[in-house]
Structure 1
């Protein structure tokens, strides 16, 4: 059976001739520090309500990993004014959908509703923030839920431990060295008081962004936001610690055995700058050049021409403090893993040595323009991108409109120079991912 990795950089190769449309928004702060962003779009009677908390696995005690992801689940338990299990029932019974996700840097909760249910969405998120149900019963229930998720997504899923093994080397000395799913032993050992303290510290309005996007009346929405969120008390300011990592000055080689796979894989990962860096955008362009679609350099060379790889990819795993630039390949016809790595390295060296052609450069710009439009085609996408800008780009919400312009300002020479700067063999982790017999 052909097994594929799910973690790939998916950037469409369609060409757009029109300029990407600007995203208009209104933003302001409540007295309790909650930052509010409103985006009006009346093209469809839909509204997205979201809250992004600036807390992820990076903020955890090394002896209590998994807390941020655990709260992604725990805060659906209900509240003082909502019975346990009613949160999702209220959403679905009123025509909505909801979900949440956690990364190393933030936790994102959202609902999409018919626009006449905006007030319900605001009430639900205010209940989550003001007085959620955090008790022994809920902790026990969600502990089992998280364990089952870990069994499905990590323990019994093919290739699922590559990030865990790469990051432990690449980010040694930083909280990025563990994954958001965390340790089940840590969660089992935690007391209720520890969960309550974690909530009080990180889930306050002054550590959050409320973003509402869709078919709204801005003035009425401001009134509703004040109605449901003004009473929530401000928390103690969150001070983020800084971490200085030692440079990776030699190639680190490791091997992982996975009983869930039949086809091996080879990974090479490099530590690169975080979200705020312009170089991060350049690395995204390099990823697209190498593996963004069937006509990309790696796919053409290794999948189509030489037929040595079933799948090959390069992607920029972007985080707030740092990032990981990762290349990978799965062999076809029993091709040795070192041959795959050599072919990938040859294409990386080509980027480092020669300027990409004008036609490739134009294609990249078209791909990123199309990606911008696609990312903002749904209201929840707009909401998340607006929140990301404020949270991770020095409170610059308008970065949603500046990103494409920044991408278009990147030169061919910059692509070559950034590849030279970061994609060095003596500063990477090589991971052999092998079937376990």
Structure 2
């Protein structure tokens, strides 16, 4: 057991050599529509398996929110052939581990195992798709788990509404991205068992999924096992998706949010930006890096180190399929006001909108993205995740190898143009994020 644990830990530290930057993979479809991607790497006796389903919280309907995230938990209950509550026990007893995540666009299930447990890993994932336990006992149990997760991560976490997108309701008036990722608890409380089953039947099928296997295996054997475990699972007709068009904002909107878990306020500038598939989304990633990534970033140097007006600054993009969200924010230090921080941040944004960044700054950004690429693809689990996301969300598996090329092709002129286009004051929502004690 100790040997298995050590082996699995090494998967996190398998570096890429200079001539192995390109991720090699093979992809194909089973007859039932399941897309399969294989990345063979026999350098360590470990496999990573990921099954990503093209369903997230944006696919929920009014009055029945929270289903996508709920299934992230529910599908660990057990199956017709895996006893209730024994999923994790079986995994760990064979040296494996696994988990799942949900966002607005997708739900993924992933695990790592010693490579001699390939059959077990594939069988368990096929069981999750083919024979899950979805009964009232499972629903009631997981409902309490979801409520506790909401309490810990959102209700009781400082600045949790910002981190988990609970404030997106102010940015999206029509699109489902404005709903809480976890849904509304009252909807889950009111949902009937038949409605939970209907959501599963609507979205969980092989022709709405991608399976990625990465690590120590032989392709001939892997293909045979994948076909054996997944090939007979029937496909079904997927519902037609219609993208909800979110109108462009033409006037700045300012709102107030309260958080009982904080003592220091924050100010947040939130912008609706293009789909993660759009080149401009990568330009905004570059802009975010320039503004607040690291001690040498512009907002960090100006507001935290030099002027000492902010305790902390942050900016991040949340990449999504229909639209993305770009957030900039700061927590004031001492008696500095939120309006003062807005003024300072706007000055830096204006510089990006009107001036070209230096060659030195552009090269720094490129270096950071190269380091991120190496880091994210330094384990078979990371590669499996990247391959799945690039196929399903980006619409192009080869994007895993084109990412740096795209970043390195971004020009200083593009950065200026995109900053001017998407960071305009008229497009944004400003949030005064205050302690509940300030509520009048």
RMSD of equivalent CA atoms: 1.4
- Mark the CA change 1:363 to 1:18 in structure 2 (over 3 Å): closer, same or farther: farther
TM-score for the superposition, normalised by structure 1: 0.94
Q: What residue is the counterpart of 2:38 in the other structure?
A: 38
Partners of 1:158 and 1:80 in 2: how far apart?
A: 41
Shift of 1:19: 7.5
Q: What residue is the counterpart of 1:129 in the other structure?
A: 129
Partners of 1:317 and 1:127 in 2: how far apart?
A: 32
Partners of 1:189 and 1:276 in 2: how far apart?
A: 36
Shift of 1:165: 5.1
Partners of 2:114 and 2:18 in 1: how far apart?
A: 30
Q: What residue is the counterpart of 1:110 in the other structure?
A: 110
Q: What residue is the counterpart of 1:95 in the other structure?
A: 95
Q: What residue is the counterpart of 1:433 in the other structure?
A: 433
Shift of 1:325: 0.9
Where in structure 2 are the equivalents of 1:10-409 lying within 5 Å?
21-162=21-162, 164=165, 166-394=167-395, 396-409=396-409
Equivalent residues, number = 421
Q: What residue is the counterpart of 1:418 in the other structure?
A: 418
Partners of 2:46 and 2:111 in 1: how far apart?
A: 11
Moved more, 163-172 or 63-72: 163-172
Contact 1:20 1:369 in 2 (8 A): no
Shift of 1:380: 1.3
Per-residue CA distance 1:263-308 (angstroms, 9 max, x = gap) = 1100001110011100000000000011111111111111110111
Contact 2:255 2:432 in 1 (8 A): yes
SS state at 1:276 partner = coil
Partners of 1:176 and 1:130 in 2: how far apart?
A: 29
Partners of 2:334 and 2:18 in 1: how far apart?
A: 44
Unpaired runs of 5+ residues, structure 1, are 1-15
Partners of 2:259 and 2:271 in 1: how far apart?
A: 23
Partners of 1:297 and 1:323 in 2: how far apart?
A: 23
- Which consecutive segments of 4 or more residues in structure 1 shift more than 2 A? 16-20, 162-166
Shift of 1:20: 7.0
SS state at 1:222 partner = helix
Per-residue CA distance 1:93-144 (angstroms, 9 max, x = gap) = 1111111000000001001111111111101100000110000000000000
